[in-house]
Amino acid sequence: MSDVLQRVRDANPIFELDDVDATEFEMALAAIEGRGDFGTEPPRIRVAGRIAWLRPTLVAAGAAVLVILAIAVPILFLRGEEQPVADTTIPAVTTTAQVITPTLPVTTTSPTPTTAPVPVALAPPMIWERVPHQPIFEGATIFRVVNGGPGLVAVGSLGDWNTFDTFSLADGGAQAVVYVSPDGYEWERIDSPAYVADTYTAMWDVAVGPDGLLVAPGQYDNETVLYLSSDGITWERIVPEGFAWDVIGTETGFLGFGSVIRAEGFGENAAVWMSSDGREWTRIEDDAFLATEGDDWTVGISGVTAGGPGLVAIGTSGLSGGTGTGLPGVDRMAVWVSADGMEWERLADLEEVNPGTVSGDPESGRIIALGAHMWTSADGYTWTKTEQKDPTIQPRWWASLAWDGERVVAGGGDVNLSLWTSGNRGENWSRIDPNDPAFDGHRPYISSVAQIGGMFVAVGQAGEYTQEVGAVWIGVWDE
């Protein structure tokens, strides 16, 4: 017996199956099982030599044989008269670093991460509920909600935006719509002759300026127009010259932004307009807005916020159409900064697509830009791409975000719920569960988020493609 164990120790049994005699194995098994059809001599294993690489199947076979020999063979030899207890412990075999001893457990060390871990300061969970559906939301598309008027003002459109909508006006067109609410729960639809007409009308956006003045860019028939209101109830329509579709309120008035068709080529140039009262607008002429990459290149602004040196804008720089449009490395996120809105500087583009919106924290001055990824900046000049809890999920585009101190809620467009939270001013993000009962089964589409009285109000659409309706959700922190 001692000779067999010594031979096993010396051999370090990592062997080739072709070197094992089947008859000898059968003899060993017969001895273990107490059969008489074969002799009891332990098998003689011929070892071909140590190998420098591991074959998992052979290791398993070797380990099994070794365990059988170590446990069963002493029992065979000790049957009958009383014998001293044999030491069946097999000492560890010292081998080269390339050979793994099959009798010892194999341990592994996790590789060092190649990227920094996601910060752990996630926002607390949220509790969401959907405001009960009201008939005034039937057939509505709500584009924006802001703090204004009696509490909240939301704008959008009613009607057959596409062939899937079931609600339509008598003439088959669409109509602008305004909703107001004191608290996010109770809503009233406001009808005004400024936009209720037997023609196509719409409101794309709404902003609040000094003294609570509301300015909503939109359309009336085939004209780009602005709708103005001091309280969200009474509205008037004006026709500015060559105005864009988006606007923000500033400390001194309003700033409009977008793009205009170039005089030559097929592309567009970015454009900015400024106004102190929402009525008289001046377009800012600046070379920083020109698309200098080529005749078929387009540059446009999709979001502006207070921050950095004064104002920060983001937008798109890319092909106006054709091969490569919208692809990473072709379309990029353009960034501009300005101290006063009159003179602008364009910074280096970010390697990004689908830029959406930008917003600055009124407390810290931190800026968040949302596109196919999330970006943050302390000054508008240096940008850092941040992480989210699940980096495999990306929204298609962003609509808006709302601040609550260090916490942020952002919403955007997606084939499913796209609602995100951050607990540290955008350093990292986590997504609201699409299976949350408040959203599940409604195919929610978030277009805007506002904060009022310690809660968040998200607006958009819900329902199936053929039965979409305007929808409102209320969310609060669960703490």
* Alpha carbon distance 72, 29 (integer Å): 10
* Domain presence at residue 361: yes
Query: Which residue in the block uniquely carries the two structure tokens 């809503």?
Result: 187
Domain contains 310:
yes
Residue 64 falls inside a structural domain: yes
> Is 87 within the bounds of a domain?
no
Q: Please report, as a single letter, which amino acid is at residue 285.
A: E
Task: Give the pLDDT band (50/70/90) at residue 79.
Answer: very low
Residue 75, pLDDT above cutoff 60: no
Query: Where are the strands (E) in 113-183, listed by range?
Result: 126-130, 140-148, 151-159, 174-181
Nearest of 157, 413, 414 to residue 302 by alpha carbon: 413
pLDDT for 215 equals 98
Please, what sign has the CA dihedral across residues 429, 433, 438, 442?
positive
Give the C-alpha distances (Å, rounded to integers) separating 423 from 220, 308, 347. Answer: 41, 21, 28
Domain presence at residue 44 = yes
Say yes or no to pLDDT of 451 above 50. Answer: yes
Assigned domain for 120 exists: no
Rounded to an integer, what distance in angstroms lies between the CA atom of residue 198 and that of residue 196?
7
Complete edge-to-edge strand list for the sheet that includes strand 419-422: 387-388, 428-431, 419-422, 407-413, 397-404
For residues 143 and 245, membership in a common domain is answered with: yes
Joined together, the tokens standing for residue 347 give: 């910074």
Domain holding 51, by residue range, is 2-78
Whether 246 is covered by a domain: the verdict is yes
pLDDT digits (tens, 9 = 90+) for 389-408: 555 555 556 778 999 988 99
Tokens 């390697």, residue located:
351
In the chain, % of residues over pLDDT 70:
64
State residue 208's pLDDT score.
97
Return the CATH number at 268. 2.130.10.10
Clarify whether residues 193 and 269 are in a common domain: yes
Please indicate, yes or no, whether residues 145 and 276 belong to a single structural domain of this protein: yes
Query: In this model, does residue 117 exceed pLDDT 90?
Result: no
Domain stops at, among 46, 78, 110: 78
> Which uninterrupted H or E stretch holds 145?
strand 140-148
Please check whether residues 246 and 169 belong to one and the same domain: yes
In 3-state terms, what secondary structure has residue 7? Answer: helix
Report the domain count for the chain: 2
301 and 387 housed in the same domain: yes
Confidence of residue 68 (pLDDT cuts 50, 70, 90): very low
**pLDDT higher than threshold 50 for residue 260:** yes
First to last CA, the chain: 70
User: How many other C-beta atoms can be found within 10 angstroms of the C-beta atom of residue 396?
Assistant: 12
Do 38 and 27 touch, CB atoms closer than 8 A?
yes
Task: For residues 184-207, give the mean pLDDT.
Answer: 93
The domain boundary residue, chosen from 17, 47, 78: 78
Report if residue 216 sits inside a domain: yes
Nearest to 190 by CA among 209, 204, 168, 175: 175
